[in-house]
Structure 1
Amino acid sequence: MPAIARAEDGDIWDVFARDRELANVDQSGNTASAMSLVDTIEPILSYDTAYNLQLAIQNYEAFVAANGSWELPERDWYGLKLGAKRKAVGALKRRLMINGDMPVQERIDNDFGNDLDAAVRLFQARHGLVINGAVDEATFYAMSVPTDYRLNQLRLNAQRIEQWASALSDRYVVVNIPAATVEAVEASQVVQRHNSVVGKVDRATPILNSKIFQVKFNPYWTVPKSIIEKDMIKYMNEDPEYLTKFNIRIFDGNGTEIPPTAINWQTNEAVKYTFRQDPGGENSMGHCKIDFYNPYAVYMHDTPQKSLFGENARFHSSGCMRCENIEELVAWLLRDNGGGWTPQSVMQAWEAGMRENIQLDVQVPIHTTYITAWANRQGTVSFRDDVYQYDAMGTVNFDT
């Protein structure tokens, strides 16, 4: 009996010690560390990235030659998170050691502690996922991609970046569609990085090289005919008050405003009219529109739907690009116009209702690109899903 009592006491203290260890895990610190390894100053579109990709390709080729493929997740990996203690944890650790997300350990236990929490968060950061430290659905899916597929991504994107890098200037903006991000680049360094929302699969954001020439403060939004036909008619049939709720007015060919009740919403009659949304908080472009030359009628803009920037897959638009914290990008674009624009003064102008179309004194190049794999000088390799299937088709040259 005394021996049993001592064993039970030991078990209790082990539990207490483990609870204390888990309580001291700095999850926010692990997230910050992961992001510091991913969001470095190298532009995603640069000769530096092209060089770093070649090093990554060599490493992946060597691994495939020696091992074939890394371990793919089993069903019991799903849902693993801090505090888990079972055999699947050890398998997850081995996989993340192979990926370089976790330091190699001689003895691998089955405890999901701080080291594995940090590793899962780094894996999530590298794949553009919501960072929560748990093997959720999106993380499980990303872990299920085999090694040879990732190696093919690296090779394709190395060729793409080599082609695009030749068109770069000292100062430019890059929209990477698969990552749904925007970078402002100057002197070969990223000075701003923003989450973005880009085109749906069936309304893809076009790939192009252009120049930003104008910023509009508190603009009207004229609804494209494609959106009237595909969306607006459906919304009005679902809710006849939709246009009124969102301050969208209808005008005929003479510029005369007509009421929604004048249109037969059971037909496509609506496409004959102009739909215009008033400036304000509900405007689909938010407080700002950034114009650049292109034949596709696309642009970059603010949005009232800020919550979309926190999603894993930010493919919701009809081809245009929404930009998080766009006031920072606007201040950077307008710096040569005088007036000492700052993000704060830009926001103040919007909130005061300023309506002005400001021409840039110095037009800034913009490149919308399709890069699903890249690497930085720290050796961190990032991947994104092939949302438009250009990797599947082996597309390298987009003829922009």
Structure 2
Amino acid sequence: MLKRLLAFGCAMPLLAAGPALAQSALQSLQQNRQKVEWVDNFDIATENITEVKSSAPTLSPQTADYIAAAINRYQRIVQAGGWGTVSTGGKALRIGMKDPRVVELRRRLIASGDLEQQAGLSNTFDSYVDAALRRFQLRHGLIHDGVMGEGTVTALNIPANVRLRQLETNMIRMRSMSGFLGDRYVMVNIPAAEIEAVENGMVRSRHTAVVGKIDRQTPILNSKIYELNFNPYWTVPVSIIRKDLIPKMKEDSEYLAKNNIRIFDWSGNELNRQQIDWNTDEATQYRFTQDPGSDNSLGSVRINFHNKHQVYLHDTPSKTLFGEANRFHSSGCVRVQNVRELVTWMLQSTTPDWTRSRVDSVIRTGEREDVKLKGSIPLYLTYVTAWANADGVVHFRDDIYNRDDLYGTGAQARL
């Protein structure tokens, strides 16, 4: 099959390049390609969708240069009038369907480089459109199901000039982090709800994350990971006691018992729920501890790093949240998918006898075990909403905490 004309979302579309240039480019294409007819095909395997992930870390020293190149291309797109929109409303579209909105979708995907211009402007949602839409969804952190639903239409309809401002804002962020970050480090990108474990300039593993809600934001900071707690107890923070635990106890007096949460005063004496007036803030004066177990809010392991916000990385019993596109559900801590792989990598760097089988064995016992890392690992909780990689692939994520000020609400974009 024809090699992709345009890196996804990173090249000036032929439609905006002028008739003569477009004609010349199309002639060149036709001379160099094998016989491929752009008809309403439905037989392209989804395996042909190119992965948009790179083995280079998001905080690569070269990322700012890649963003600068993307800015140059997006400036040309904006100067040419940007890209069109896709009509809202109506049923979700998927492969095999015919609809006038498919023509709009094709134009939009061609403009951003996700679909080749050769695909044409048919109203049929064929396999070429399906593959192009999945690539678009992958680049924007959406569920890549090839369905043009409400969330995908919203992303498609963000104007090119807004995306250009996102790139410009994030290039400044990248320049500010262009120094040496360490031979091994962990990076959490909050808007992407994703974690990278980086070693010797390459991504060793990526992990889907769940991060803080809009009203309980995960802080942006640099720190060091120094300790792991296997089968941890969870001491409920005062903020969660006030915002969550007290209201739930008013609704269900057995909430604590159902969730294996015990109450202690600060002398270590255990209390029962009847001793507390739940109609006041009295509960905030006590310590609430959830026992280790399958329902523990921290899951099987907690990852500690120095910070003043009382947040940490941890496992979770709520695994289904990792399958959502918008993973902003926590009270500020970061939940880690496949956390055992991450902690095994951390331990092996300083304590080689900690293999994955040993990690699994310790967790299986259900007994609390604290492990101090022999060498701390740098941790970066970052806020990156747009970036590009060496292949020219441009990624965008929602400005979930409104730090980019993309629509000029008055506040300056914050790093």
TM-score where L is the length of structure 1 = 0.89
1:44 aligns with: 58
Identify the match of residue 403 of structure 2 among 390, 397, 400: 390
Cα shift at 1:78 = 5.4
What's the secondary structure of 1:129's corresponding residue? coil
- 1:348, distance to aligned residue in structure 2 (A): 2.5
Q: Higher helix fraction: Structure 1 or Structure 2?
A: 1
Q: Deviations over 1:239-295 (max 9, x none)?
A: 111110110000012211111121111111111110000011111000100011111
Cα deviation code 1:334-385 (max 9, x no counterpart) = 0133353333431222012242111111111000000000001111101001
Among 74, 83, 99, the alignment partner of 1:60 is 74
Equivalent residue in structure 1 for 2:83, among 70, 75, 78? 70
Q: Distance in 2 between matches of 1:351 and 1:303?
A: 15
Confirm or deny: 8 A CA contact 2:86 2:101 kept in the other structure.
Answer: no
**Contact preservation (8 Å) 2:211, 2:333:** yes
Amino acid at match of 2:45: D
Matched, 1:186 2:199: yes
Distance 1:211 1:180 in 2: 19
Which letter maps to 2:262?
R
The residue number in structure 1 matching 2:360 is: 347
Task: Report if aligned partners of 2:213, 2:331 keep a CA contact under 8 Å in 1.
Answer: yes
Distance 1:76 1:314 in 2: 25
Query: Does the Cα contact within 8 Å between 1:42 and 1:48 map onto a contact in 2?
Result: no
Q: Which residue of 1 aligns with 2:186?
A: 173
Secondary structure in 2 matching 1:214: strand
Instruction: Report the Cα offset of residue 87 of structure 1.
Output: 2.1
Change (3 A) 1:370 1:363: same
Match of 2:126 in 1: 113
Q: Indicate how the Cα distance of structure 1 residues 337 and 107 shifts in structure 2: closer, same or farther if over 3 A, else same.
A: closer
User: Does the Cα contact within 8 Å between 1:78 and 1:137 map onto a contact in 2?
Assistant: no
Contact 2:119 2:128 in 1 (8 A): no
Tell me the CA shift for residue 167 of structure 1: 4.8
**What is the rounded CA distance, in whole Å, between the counterparts of 2:205 and 2:412 in structure 1?**
31
Contact 2:170 2:385 in 1 (8 A): yes
Report the equivalent of 1:26. Answer: 45
Extract unaligned runs of 5+ from structure 2.
Answer: 1-39, 406-410
CA distance in structure 1 between the partners assigned to 2:211 and 2:389 by the alignment: 24
The aligned counterpart of 1:257 is 270
Deviations 1:174-216 (A, max 9, x none): 0000000000011111111000011111111111011100111
- For 2:17, the equivalent position in structure 1 comes to none
1:227 pairs with one of 240, 245, 256: 240
Deviation at 1:71, TM superposition (A): 0.4
The answer for the alignment partner of 1:99 in structure 2 is 112
CA drift of 1:106 comes to 6.5
What is the alpha-carbon distance in structure 2 between the residues aligned to residue 344 and residue 99 of structure 1? 45
Q: What is the Cα deviation at residue 77 of structure 1? A: 7.0
Aligned equivalent of 1:366: 379
Amino acid in structure 2 at the alignment position of 1:211: K
Q: After superposition, what is the alpha-carbon deviation per residue over 1:126-146, rounded to whole angstroms, capped at 9, x for unaligned?
A: 010111100112101111111
Q: Relative to structure 2, which stretch is displaced further, 207-216 or 68-77?
A: 68-77
Contact 1:77/1:92, CA 8 A, preserved across alignment: no
- Letter of the structure 2 residue corresponding to residue 51 of structure 1: D
Instruction: Kindly indicate whether residue 221 of structure 2 is the aligned counterpart of residue 211 of structure 1.
Output: no
Q: How many residues align?
A: 371
- Give runs of aligned pairs for residues 287-326 of structure 1, distance below 5 A: 287-326=300-339
Partner of 1:7: none
After superposition, the Cα gap between the structure-2 partners of 1:221 and 1:106, relative to the gap in structure 1 and judged at 3 Å, is closer
Deviation, 1:227, is: 0.4
- Provide the secondary structure at the position in 2 that maps to 1:203: coil
Structure 1 residues 353-362 or 74-83, which shifts more? 74-83
Q: Distance in 2 between matches of 1:336 and 1:154?
A: 35
CA distance in 2, matches of 1:97, 1:133: 16
Bigger shift: residues 353-362 or 140-149: 353-362
Return the alpha-carbon distance in structure 2 between the equivalents of residues 328 and 100 of structure 1.
35
In 2, the alpha carbon distance for the partners of 1:279 and 1:161 equals 40
Q: Identity over aligned residues, as a percent?
A: 47
Aligned partners of 1:132 and 1:106: how far apart in 2? 20
Match of 1:9 in 2: none
Please tell me whether the aligned partners of residues 156 and 394 of structure 1 are also in contact (alpha carbons under 8 angstroms). no
Q: TM-score, normalised by structure 2?
A: 0.86
Aligned pairs for 1:158-169 (under 5 A) are 158-169=171-182
For the residue of structure 1 that corresponds to 2:123, the secondary structure is: coil
2:235–2:290 Cα contact (<8 Å) kept = yes
Rounded to whole Å, the distance in 1 between the matches of 2:230 and 2:88 is: 51
Aligned counterpart for 1:156 among listed residues 138, 158, 169: 169
Residue pair 1:248, 1:276 contacting (<8 A) in 2 also = yes
Is the Cα–Cα contact under 8 Å of residues 233 and 270 in structure 1 kept in the other structure?
A: yes
Say which SS state the counterpart of residue 215 (structure 2) adopts.
helix
**AA in 1 matched with 2:372:** Q
Contact 1:180 1:197 (C-alpha < 8 Å) held by counterparts: yes
What SS does the corresponding residue of 1:329 show, helix, strand or coil?
helix
Q: CA RMSD in A?
A: 1.6
C-alpha distance in structure 2 between counterparts of 1:88 and 1:342, whole Å = 53
The residue type equivalent to 1:275 in the other structure is F
Whole-angstrom CA distance in 2 between matches of 1:343 and 1:95: 46
